[in-house]
Amino acid sequence: MGCAQGKCCGGGGEGVAEREGVGGVPGGGRGGGGATTLGRAAVPGAGLVLEYATLAVDGLYPDAPGRESQDAHLVATRFAGDPDLHLFAVFDGHGACGAACAQFAREALPRLLLLPRLAADPAGAFREAMTAANEEMHAAGGVDDSMSGTTAVAALVAGGALHVANVGDSRAVAGVWRDGRVAAEELSWDQTPFRADERARVKACGARVMSVEQVEGVRDPDAEGWLADEGDPPRVWARDGLYPGTAFTRSLGDLAAEGVGVIAEPEVKSVEITPAHLFFVVASDGVFEFLSSQEVVDMVAMHKDPRDACSAIAAESYKLWLEHENRTDDITIIIVHIRDAENVLQGVTKLTTAARERR
């Protein structure tokens, strides 16, 4: 969702993927349904194979036709030279320098994660790396992050475990076979003022939390009954000014917002990868603005090839944006299928097995 000044205002490991080019959304006009990448990485320590696809779609902004995408992503297989470590991340920039902030974070995070403690304490390593990336961004001469920044959601496969660190409102979700269906398992939690705990935290730092209409006096400034689908979310404001106006409570960058509690410390969730875990998705809020986690999981489960799932989700997201607004956000998706190495050799996937069980 970004800042009130917003996304409209702006002009390592092995195998790190650059942001993909853009093609046409199937059935959706300009955007990106092509240019998906497909890769495969073994996790020998856990007997798994990861098959992944990525897709990046430039947003449609009629008032700024030459606008640069503010999303970035990375895929780093055999991270730090370890065959059991694989890193997938998405960054969604915002503000006038959002693209530069996202690219800065994309380059800094894998470098800063190269810590001796990574294997033993991935949650601690993520917290240290993201806060360090934030400090480096503040100090970088070529990046003005005073009123710009980026989300960051990163998923690290470490043998038979999955560790997800999140700052902001990009999201990671897993598809898990449960009770005869593929269910969404949240791997991250959006950090926005909709959350009572995050709202209380930034208020304790001196922030006001109000929607734009509340700031403008159209609605009761003390009311807290915001609805996620009404298009005017609660935002974080300084006590004495009309800034920063962020619709999130954590980010990298956003120096002016730090004084009112917008922080770079990630929330980290760790899960054991079980035979029920079929895949996971890491994506920007260009996907999740109008699609729920379960809807995204359902779409992935419909496609054997993750490239097809990426294209289908991008097309549906693009369509929904244009049904609600006269623009679309940038859309970035990483889909990672988790497959048993033995089944891969036999040409059988977990999704195929799950489909057979459904019948």
Superfamily of domain covering 24-190+264-358: PPM-type phosphatase domain (3.60.40.10)
Structure-block tokens of residue 97: 């320098």
- Per-residue pLDDT at 199: 96
Question: Beta partners for 149?
Answer: 94, 253
Strands (E) in 159-234, as ranges, are 161-167, 171-178, 181-186, 208-210
End-to-end CA distance of the chain: 40
* CA separation, residue 256 to residues 114, 231, 237, 243 (Å): 29, 24, 10, 8
- Per-residue pLDDT at 96: 94
Identify which of 129, 128, 178, 170 has the alpha carbon closest to the alpha carbon of residue 150.
Answer: 170
- Per-residue pLDDT at 25: 41
Rounded to two decimals, what is the model's pTM? Answer: 0.88
CA 55 to the chain's CA centroid: 13
Range(s) of the chain covered by CATH 3.60.40.10: 24-190+264-358
Contact (Cβ atoms closer than 8 angstroms) between residue 101 and residue 253: yes
- Per-residue pLDDT at 94: 97
- Per-residue pLDDT at 230: 80
- Per-residue pLDDT at 347: 54
In a structure prediction context, what are the per-residue pLDDT tens digits for the chain, which is 359 residues long?
565 544 333 334 444 443 333 233 433 332 333 457 889 999 999 999 999 999 999 999 999 988 999 999 999 999 999 999 999 999 999 999 999 999 999 999 999 999 888 988 999 999 999 999 999 999 999 999 999 999 999 999 999 999 999 999 999 999 999 999 999 999 999 999 999 999 999 999 999 999 999 999 999 998 998 988 788 899 999 998 999 999 999 999 999 999 999 999 999 999 999 999 999 999 999 999 999 999 999 999 999 999 999 999 999 999 999 999 999 999 999 999 999 977 665 555 666 556 545 54
- Per-residue pLDDT at 342: 73
120: helix, strand or coil: coil
- Per-residue pLDDT at 359: 46
